[in-house]
């Protein structure tokens, strides 16, 4: 699902990879999608997909920040996953 009315800043490839995975879906236990709220601060919501137990521990999950202004403008900022060196 491509959200309408959003302005997006960040990694375009990550945005494309996340499309269709916006909702928590645990119907397939091999590849569940579970979104977690990292923090909710003054109208800014920071969310991230939970990582599976068996994963490459050098990678961090992407963080998505969403904000909706009083005027109804919506903004999404994507932070791509990074490797820890």
Q: Which residue has the higher pLDDT, 13 or 5?
A: 13
Given a contact cutoff of 8 angstroms between Cβ atoms, the answer to whether 38 and 63 are in contact is yes
What does the pLDDT look like over 10-30, one tens digit per residue?
A: 888 888 888 888 889 999 888
Collect all residues with Cβ–Cβ distance below 8 Å to 60 and sequence separation of at least 6.
81, 82, 83, 84
By CB neighbour count within 10 A (0-12 exposed, 13-18 middle, 19+ buried), where does 55 fall?
A: exposed
pLDDT of 85 > 50? The answer is no
């Amino acid at each position: 699902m491509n959200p309408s009315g959003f302005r997006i800043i960040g990694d375009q490839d990550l945005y494309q990879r996340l499309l269709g995975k916006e909702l928590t879906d645990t119907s397939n236990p091999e590849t569940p999608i579970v979104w977690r709220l990292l923090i909710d601060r003054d109208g800014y919501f920071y969310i991230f997909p939970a990582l599976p137990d068996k994963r490459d521990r050098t990678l961090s999950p992407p963080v998505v920040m969403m904000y909706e202004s009083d005027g109804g403008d919506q903004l999404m900022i994507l932070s791509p996953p990074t490797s820890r060196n």
